[in-house]
Amino acid sequence: MPNWKLHNIIETSGAVVVCEEMCTGTRYFENLVDETKTTLDEQFMALSERYMKTNCACFTPNTGRIDDILRMVKEYQVDGVIDCSLKFCCLYDTEKYSVSRALKEAGVPVLSLETDYADTDAEQLRTRIGAFVELLNG
């Protein structure tokens, strides 16, 4: 079951989620596997090449992920970015500084959050996200 807590809070706070580059979201349909390969070895290689193009924080240092975020900001006409990491995903937390710096240098407002799958922090998130949305609507 995907974690829709953050999406629900964002969209009930007056904003719209236009794309997501975390472990779910655009990764499912970007950089598709080349299906023209006919031999088993070629198919394994095509599958491997597709997954090696994934811009995940686990491939750190990964400037490609930051470039991809900046590309999506332009492509999806993003007004602001909520950079969220899960409490148990140390790699995204480690990249948070670099992502935030790159977005700020590009003039893109960014809110960095950390959460988990529980609902215990929902109201705290709602407060922070609501303030961020007000800042964007300024």
Indicate whether 61 pLDDT > 80: no
Distance of alpha carbon 25 from alpha carbon 65, whole angstroms: 14
SS3 123: helix
For residue 125, give the nearest of 138, 135, 106, 111 by alpha carbon: 111
* Predicted confidence (pLDDT) per residue in 22-52, tens digit: 776 777 677 788 899 999 999 999 998 888 7
Residue 60: what pLDDT?
63
The pTM for the full model equals: 0.80
Contacts of 130 (CB under 8 A, 6+ apart): 13, 14
Mean pLDDT of 76-93: 87
| Contact between 130 and 13 (Cβ < 8 Å) | yes
The predicted pLDDT at position 93 comes to 78
* Residue 82: predicted pLDDT: 96
Measured CA distances, 117 to 4, 21, 104 (Å): 9, 18, 28
Q: % helix / strand / coil in the chain, to the nearest 5?
A: 50, 10, 40
Judge whether residue 86 has pLDDT over 50. Answer: yes
Place of tokens 């807590």: 5
Element (H, E) at 112: strand 110-115
